[in-house]
Amino acid sequence: MTLTGNAHEAEWSVDVVTSPAEVGGYRCDIHVSHESAHGAFAHDFQHSSVFVTEREALLEGLREGMTWIELKTSGALHV
């Protein structure tokens, strides 16, 4: 089974999709996007960890994506 989840507000969104890891457990792919006066920003990446359950993978993916958004909107991250 694949789990998906998202969190969003007017200017930003985080989307996560889980998938089985080759070594067992689950991975998550994360897509973050942010709109601002400086233009649109989007970034896709995979969480570096493998998780025992899909639920863990989904929640950690959302947490990681939200961290990216927080850093990007605060100006601490310039990508």
What does the DSSP 8-state code read for residue 51?
B
Tell me the per-residue pLDDT of 29-72, one tens digit each, with 9 for 90 and over.
Answer: 999 999 988 889 899 999 999 999 999 999 999 999 999 999 88
Q: What's the pLDDT at 79? A: 64
Does residue 18 sit within a domain?
yes
| pTM metric for this prediction | 0.90
Does residue 48 sit within a domain?
yes
Does residue 79 sit within a domain?
no
Is 46 in contact with 54 (CB distance < 8 Å)?
no
CATH number assigned to the domain comprising residue 43: 3.10.450
Tell me how far apart the alpha carbons of residues 46 and 30 are, in angstroms, rounded to a whole number.
6
Is 18 in contact with 57 (CB distance < 8 Å)?
yes
